[in-house]
Structure 1
Amino acid sequence: MDAFYASVEQRDNPELKGKPVAVGGSRERGVVAAASYEARKFGVRSAMPSSQAYSRCPDIIFVKPRFERYKEVSHQIRAIFQEYTDLIEPLSLDEAYLDVTHNKKGIPSATLIAKDIKKRIKEITGLTASAGISTNKFVAKIASDYNKPDGITLVGPEKIEIFLEQLPIEKFFGVGKVTAGKMKNLGIVDGRTLKSWKKEDLIGTFGKSGGFYYEIVRGNDHRPVNPNRIRKSLGAENTFDHDFHDLADMKMALDPIARTVYRRLENADRWGKTLTVKVKFADFTQITRSQTTDHSIDSLSEILEITDQIMENIDWEVYNQGVRLLGITLSNFDDEQEEIMKPGQQLTLEF
């Protein structure tokens, strides 16, 4: 979906149409959770401090998030997907992979299916979506961001190699801002220069992720679309445009991350007993701090409360530097023990 939260707000409130809108925060404090395309023209982005968004766009309109409303619209979109295939792997409320190889309507072209789905979404929700079409999940994901908003991008088998070679390194899904900066310092600026590196050199420089980069730049991704994917954890994180030095600012930046985690847990209907906060500093040093409860953490208020406790207990003077990334993860799900203890079932065969 295109600028999903902001687009829903503009649709539900016609007075916001065509205006720069930021969901979350306020002019004085907080963090932008989502920005309309009108606001993005001024450089406003998600995870940006609201004060910075206001300085870039003095006319920006801040709107409080309505996550229940976004979830409701997400269910409408999911129902449209199910008209075409049952192989749907959600990534979030506004994004999913679809395998349409054998689709319910017998449409022979994935491009025609994508156009049809986009049309149905527009008719039913009044919102626009962008679609990426290819032979695997990695390339389709990149293609979906390639021509936003309201775009559609097809990368067929014969075009994957040149598509990835010409792609700027920061556009590779899975390459964050920090890693992209490190790659550029090493002369890796696009897919072509990444492809020139040997696998062992990439692993030596980037660790296990180096092997991943080696495969994806060659378009190798054999992961199936898995509608029943079992997650061991659910989380979210943000890499910021600037370093945070003040604990109060970090807590504000964690608020939209916590809300994202809560939405994903609610969408998956899975609740964990262990909450982990991830902190990455300016020199790429990374720490995690966890807290485990004797019950499932199933409310946003408790996620925020535990996150706040963990942040308060970190000895920040030891690190004495800015924070570039913050993340929250829930694990130790309440159904994992049930799966372990579940008795075996006698299978029967039809003869």
Structure 2
Amino acid sequence: MEKEIERKIIHVDMDAFYASVEQMDNPKLKCKPIAVGGNSQRGVVAAASYEARKYGVHSAMPSKIAASKCRSLIFVKARFDRYKQLSQQIREIFYRYTDLVEPLSLDEAYLDVTENKKGISTATDIAIEIKEAIKKEIGLTASAGVSINKFLAKIASDYRKPDGLFVIKPHQVVPFIEELPIEKFFGVGKKTAEKMHELQIKTGADLKAKSLKELIKHFGKQGRYFYSVSRGEDYRRVNPNRIRKSVGAENTFSESLQSKEEIIEALQTIAEKCWNRYKQTKAQAHTVTLKVKFDDFKQITRSKTLEEIIESAVVFDKALAELVDSFNMENKVRLVGCSLSNFEVENPIDSHGQLTLRF
């Protein structure tokens, strides 16, 4: 097999991005526990400042629970136009070094700096420059991870937050992964970690000791992924033209919905917003998903996959109506969302070879 070009990957992740922006723009919020999004009674936290995180407040937490954990918590309305503006300025800094930038969201991105515009010899020096530029020009801090592939770079960026820099050099990859707690592996959630513990898998070394056949038996297709990353193998390229895997919209209501008729009515606006976003992507979806969250925070999703591409809003609306009809109203509903996914074009997984890099 032909040897693949040697790669140097950086993962840059802004520190508590939305909350940090609010603290930067409003000095009165500096050093205070704040939550972006929701309010003390309804909704969910979109982002929490590090001061709030000390109390156990985190993103995706129901606002009511967040408020109970931190009585001095300040709720701030999200300003996505502002976050998008700053995100674009941050990406412009990335583009000074490479055009191979793959944004994952407004606040994080992968960069392939194997060949960079400034001719800097090490990825570590590039990461340092990028962090300094973001701090000086934007006024925010970022954490960066540097390594031989996406999997390791992403883990590294979270290793010394906030304002951190962590480098996993080629010769450090194997010992680093072998000592890594399984909970730190990207893609291992709470339930998967519990299952791994039952199988006596607690570290990367334990995971690496399992055969491919055994991992597939217990974890299905994901078993192949676990087999590869436990050996430091991740051959996905940084894709500057990454295609979105889904498009959606949702709304949390100030007054809970009490019937399916109210859900159908509320879905009209939500579905229209989702459909407009879908048409802008020029994607070709096959799956419609309905998301419902009840007052007790129990959440359900229902999906319908169509053989033909979803090209009509009428087809989309009909599928949503069928999905609404498919579940039982166990409680009042506080949130409704919908999405289109299962696009025909997916990101390719690349072939592999040996990697020996100067970092």
Tell me if TM exceeds 0.5. Answer: yes
Change in CA separation of 1:211 and 1:36 when aligned onto 2, cut-off 3 Å: same
Q: Return the alpha-carbon distance in structure 2 between the equivalents of residues 310 and 144 of structure 1.
A: 43
8 Å contact from structure 2 (residues 303, 323) kept in 1 = no
- State the TM-score, normalized to the length of structure 1: 0.75
| Residues 60-107 of structure 1: CA deviation (Å, up to 9, x unaligned) | 111111111111110000100001100111111111110111111111
Report the 3-state secondary structure (helix = DSSP H, G, I; strand = E; otherwise coil) of the residue aligned with 1:38: helix
Match of residue 142 from structure 1? 155
Match of residue 168 from structure 1? 181
Change in CA separation of 1:72 and 1:36 when aligned onto 2, cut-off 3 Å: same
1:57 aligns with 2:74: no
Change in CA separation of 1:162 and 1:188 when aligned onto 2, cut-off 3 Å: same
8 Å contact from structure 1 (residues 169, 175) kept in 2 = yes
Structure 2 counterparts to residues 23-34 of structure 1, below 5 A? 23-34=36-47
Report the 3-state secondary structure (helix = DSSP H, G, I; strand = E; otherwise coil) of the residue aligned with 1:132: strand
Q: Return the alpha-carbon distance in structure 1 between the equivalents of residues 216 and 40 of structure 2.
A: 44
Q: Return the alpha-carbon distance in structure 2 between the equivalents of residues 142 and 165 of structure 1.
A: 14
| Residues 169-223 of structure 1: CA deviation (Å, up to 9, x unaligned) | 1211111222122212322222121112111000000001001100001100111
Q: C-alpha displacement at 1:163, in angstroms?
A: 1.1
Report the 3-state secondary structure (helix = DSSP H, G, I; strand = E; otherwise coil) of the residue aligned with 1:70: helix
Match of residue 288 from structure 1? 303
- State the TM-score, normalized to the length of structure 2: 0.73
Q: Which range moves more in the overlay, 156-165 or 171-180?
A: 171-180
1:87 aligns with 2:100: yes
Q: 2:86 aligns with which of 67, 70, 73?
A: 73
Match of residue 326 from structure 2? 314
Q: C-alpha displacement at 1:315, in angstroms?
A: 1.8
Q: Return the alpha-carbon distance in structure 1 between the equivalents of residues 113 and 30 of structure 2.
A: 34
| Residues 245-298 of structure 1: CA deviation (Å, up to 9, x unaligned) | x988xx9xxxxxx9xx97xx69x8556665424799xxxx9853469571499x
| Letter matched to residue 184 of structure 2 | K
Report the 3-state secondary structure (helix = DSSP H, G, I; strand = E; otherwise coil) of the residue aligned with 1:53: helix
8 Å contact from structure 1 (residues 278, 286) kept in 2 = yes
Change in CA separation of 1:54 and 1:279 when aligned onto 2, cut-off 3 Å: closer
8 Å contact from structure 1 (residues 133, 140) kept in 2 = yes
8 Å contact from structure 1 (residues 277, 307) kept in 2 = no
| Residues 15-62 of structure 1: CA deviation (Å, up to 9, x unaligned) | 111011111111111111111111111111111111111111111111
Q: Return the alpha-carbon distance in structure 1 between the equivalents of residues 173 and 122 of structure 2.
A: 18
1:120 aligns with 2:133: yes
Structure 2 residue runs of 5 or longer lacking an equivalent are 1-13, 250-255, 264-269, 294-299, 346-359
Change in CA separation of 1:185 and 1:155 when aligned onto 2, cut-off 3 Å: same
Q: Return the alpha-carbon distance in structure 1 between the equivalents of residues 248 and 218 of structure 2.
A: 25
Q: CA RMSD in A?
A: 3.6
Match of residue 3 from structure 1? 16
Change in CA separation of 1:328 and 1:105 when aligned onto 2, cut-off 3 Å: farther
Change in CA separation of 1:186 and 1:149 when aligned onto 2, cut-off 3 Å: same
Report the 3-state secondary structure (helix = DSSP H, G, I; strand = E; otherwise coil) of the residue aligned with 1:288: strand
Q: Return the alpha-carbon distance in structure 2 between the equivalents of residues 312 and 202 of structure 1.
A: 37
Identity of aligned residues (%): 55
Q: Return the alpha-carbon distance in structure 1 between the equivalents of residues 42 and 114 of structure 2.
A: 47
1:331 aligns with 2:341: yes
Q: Return the alpha-carbon distance in structure 2 between the equivalents of residues 290 and 29 of structure 1.
A: 32
Tell which has more relative contact order, 1 or 2 (C-alpha 8 A, sep 6+): 2
| Letter matched to residue 294 of structure 1 | S
Change in CA separation of 1:290 and 1:18 when aligned onto 2, cut-off 3 Å: farther
Q: C-alpha displacement at 1:309, in angstroms?
A: 5.8
Q: Which range moves more in the overlay, 111-120 or 193-202?
A: 193-202
> What is the number of residues matched between the two proteins?
298
Q: Return the alpha-carbon distance in structure 1 between the equivalents of residues 201 and 321 of structure 2.
A: 40
8 Å contact from structure 1 (residues 121, 127) kept in 2 = yes
8 Å contact from structure 1 (residues 235, 327) kept in 2 = no
8 Å contact from structure 2 (residues 17, 107) kept in 1 = yes
Change in CA separation of 1:307 and 1:91 when aligned onto 2, cut-off 3 Å: farther
Report the 3-state secondary structure (helix = DSSP H, G, I; strand = E; otherwise coil) of the residue aligned with 2:109: strand
Change in CA separation of 1:114 and 1:170 when aligned onto 2, cut-off 3 Å: same
8 Å contact from structure 1 (residues 277, 290) kept in 2 = no
1:38 aligns with 2:51: yes
Structure 1 residue runs of 5 or longer lacking an equivalent are 238-245, 252-257, 337-351
In terms of fraction of residues, the more helix-rich structure is: 1
Report the 3-state secondary structure (helix = DSSP H, G, I; strand = E; otherwise coil) of the residue aligned with 1:146: coil
